[in-house]
Each structure stands twice: as structure tokens, then as C-alpha cells.
Chains A and B, each alone.
Chain A
């Protein structure tokens, strides 16, 4: 099946610094990628939808200037958490939309990136 990778798998950074997380579709082209955030013992919350070559669409309450998303190619999307603060500590998961069995749309998920801001 389709594979989505994320890098890094975990990162610790100091408050005020910026962190970049990469999401790659390894064996398929993804025109649309999604970024989710998950706080402990909570479900995944959609942060933004990223379309290749255009600006991301952010969910209500997500600061676009704080969470910069770039989808420069059909296989790579990046999420940059700018001026990170401890409250940004979370598990960030990306997914990529592709085509599964019978050419039907499926979303494939990366393994997640755990961000800890100290």
C-alpha cells in the first residue's frame, strides 16, 4: 500500500525557536496533504489542508502565521511551527490523499512527529 513518511519522528526544542516537520508520500503523488494535531488522550484535530502549488486552507482557530505550511511538490509538504511555545507541544500527524483499491480515494497517514517545547 501507499506509504507516507514523516521526519523527524520526535523533536525537542527550546521556546521561541522554529521547528520544521516534513511529510513525504513515498510511492505516489499527492496533490492534497493534511496536517493534524493530537493532544494527549484526545483525538486528531485537522489543522489545515495543503494543496500542491497553492496556499493552505486552515481550520478555524489555527494561526496560519504560526503554523506555516508549504506544499512545494507532489510528494512533499512541510509544517513549520514558528516561535514555538510549550503549549505547541503535541503529536503532529500528516496524511496524503491518494487512490486505493479500484481507484477510490483514500487517505494515508504518516507515523507522526512528537514535538516537545521546553
Chain B
């Protein structure tokens, strides 16, 4: 059974800082990996989806990388802003379903 781990569980940074969120998974035979953002009490917002054949995806200030062989993905956020404060979830799709990590709770202080 796929296990997805996210480190750190919580992170607090001053505005403007660059930061990295980490995700690891136990079964490398994945179909794709997706990063989501979730605001308190809200649903999921998809940020980036990386197919198993890809190594990274970029959208604005966000960059996600995938190293399937080592079972790792990182989400890089450049020039963080208070509006980036949210919980970031990593999810891995394989074996016909999607499994989530516990998330990283990010706080960006003005």
C-alpha cells in the first residue's frame, strides 16, 4: 500500500523568502503526482500535476520536481507572500487510486 509522507508538518516564514516543501512516497510505480493547496474549511485547489515521465512542472512562482526512482517530490515556492498561507498537500496516483500526504501547514508572515 502506498504511503505518502510530507515534511515539514508546519512551516512559518517571513514574507519574501523562498521555501521548499518535501513529499516522499514508498511505491515508485506511480502514474502521476499532484500538489494541492487547501485553505481552512475549503476544498482542494490543484497547483501542479507531474506525470510519471516528467521531472518537473512550473506555474508562476511554483516549481514542482519529481524523482520517481527515489520516491521524492519537492514543491518550491519563490518569493513567498502572505496569500500563500495554506496547507499544501501532496498526492500520488497509482494502483487505480490517489493517496494523500498529511500536508504541510504554511504560514507566511507579513
Taking beta carbons and an 8 Å cutoff, which residues of A are in contact with B?
A: 32, 34, 36, 41-46, 49, 91, 93, 95, 100, 104-107, 109-112, 114
Contact = CB atoms under 8 A, between A and B. Distances in A.
B28 interface: no
B4 to A, nearest CB: 8
B97 A44 contact: no
B43 A93 contact: yes
B49 interface: yes
B49 A112 contact: no
B35 interface: no
Contacts of A106: 32, 49
Interface residues of B, number: 23
Which secondary structure characterizes the binding site on chain A?
Answer: strand
B83 interface: no
B97 A46 contact: yes
Nearest to A105: B31
B44 A109 contact: yes
B98 A43 contact: no
A112 B44 CA distance: 8
B43 A43 contact: no
Given A43-B89, A105-B31, A110 B98 contact: no
A33 to B, nearest CB: 11
Nearest to A102: B51
Interface string B27-44: 000011010100001111
A80 B2 CA distance: 27
B43 A100 contact: no
A107 B96 contact: no
B100 interface: yes
Nearest to B53: A104
A92 to B, nearest CB: 11
Nearest to A95: B98
B71 interface: no
B82 to A, nearest CB: 20
Nearest to B44: A109
B101 A43 contact: yes
